[in-house]
Amino acid sequence: MEVTPQGTAARVEALIRHKKHIAEIRAALRIRSLQTATRWISGTLAVFLLFGFVIANVAVGWSSLALANKIALPVVVLSAGTFLAVGAMEEKAKGHYTKTARELKIELEAAEELRLLDAARLGLPVADRQYSYKDAIPAELDSLRKDGRKYRRKHNLAQSVIILGSLAGTALSGLADTPAPLKYWIMGITFAVGAAAGFTGYYKWRERAFYLQQTADDIERHATAFELGIYPYDDPDENDRLAKLAKEIELLRVEQRKREQQLDQPHEGSAEVV
């Protein structure tokens, strides 16, 4: 069935509305996920610290834990206040923000399916879809580099904790007569160093950042070669050049997904992923 220009314009506007709706749901999902994580972490921390605070003071006595109590009490109050503040924000929310993160994920999937259905009914020529694909490359590069910077920051933070914590723990442990308060600090520093090292090895933030940056550089190289009309995009036929660009970008995306799957595998099974 042939689509009239008026029908095409209406469907394009519908696709734009779908994209705006999907962007709103994604923004709400990020905020609700952050709120949920903050509420659970702050509530759990407040309960455990309060429980430990009571048990420690009953077993040892207030005077023996005076310094620890001065640190623990403000943290308990801050955690409980954060829990209540996030709960109050959720009660006053409107629109998408009244839904849970799980509900927003389901709604996002449904919105994506509706967008794909409308795009399929639009029946744009392959050349037009390839142009749209090419125009989406800058956004793809921004997303890859943003994720790469995020993982790089996590890796650098963990490495800083490991380096500074190791030096601080060694320096404090080297004191001839370590006071009781410093022993708690040494325990905390040792725990932080161990946790940072464990998270770094498990999540492989440095490798993820490296592969994301490598994929972004390769995609940018192909996009630049296409814009300049240099090899391998020196073909005078525009459609052939677009098809070749789409093929190369998709191959790079597939390689990136395989790398991510390999990083998600445990050490003993990572070699099996090709």
CA distance 267 to 248: 30
Tell me, what's the pLDDT at 272? 45
Tell me, what's the pLDDT at 205? 92
Q: What is the pLDDT of residues 127-173, one digit of tens each?
A: 777 777 788 888 889 989 999 999 999 999 999 999 998 988 888 77
Task: Summarize the confidence of residues 209-220 as an average pLDDT.
Answer: 95
Q: What is the mean pLDDT of the chain?
A: 81
Q: Are residues 87 and 157 in the same domain?
A: no
Q: Which residue, among 56, 60, 58, has the nearest Cα to 48 in the 3D structure? A: 56
Phi, psi torsion values for 266, nearest 5 degrees: -65, 160
Q: Are residues 112 and 145 in the same domain?
A: no
Indicate the residue among 124, 149, 184 that finishes a domain.
124
What domain count does the chain have?
Answer: 2
Q: Are residues 134 and 266 in the same domain?
A: yes
CA distance 226 to 213: 20
Q: Are residues 62 and 142 in the same domain?
A: no
Q: Are residues 264 and 131 in the same domain?
A: yes
Q: Are residues 77 and 151 in the same domain?
A: no
* Alpha-carbon distances of 224 from 53, 134, 219, rounded to whole Å: 60, 11, 9
Q: Are residues 133 and 189 in the same domain?
A: yes
Helices marked H in the chain: 5-59, 66-91, 101-122, 126-135, 137-173, 180-203, 205-228, 238-264
Most confident segment among 68-82, 87-101, 218-232:
218-232
Reported confidence tier of residue 7, pLDDT bands at 50, 70, 90: low
Q: Are residues 181 and 97 in the same domain?
A: no
Q: Are residues 233 and 119 in the same domain?
A: no
Which region among 22-26, 54-58, 81-85, 262-266 has the lowest average model confidence (pLDDT)?
54-58
Q: What is the pLDDT of residues 249-274, one digit of tens each?
A: 999 999 999 999 898 876 554 444 44
Q: Are residues 136 and 64 in the same domain?
A: no
Domain that residue 249 falls in: 126-274
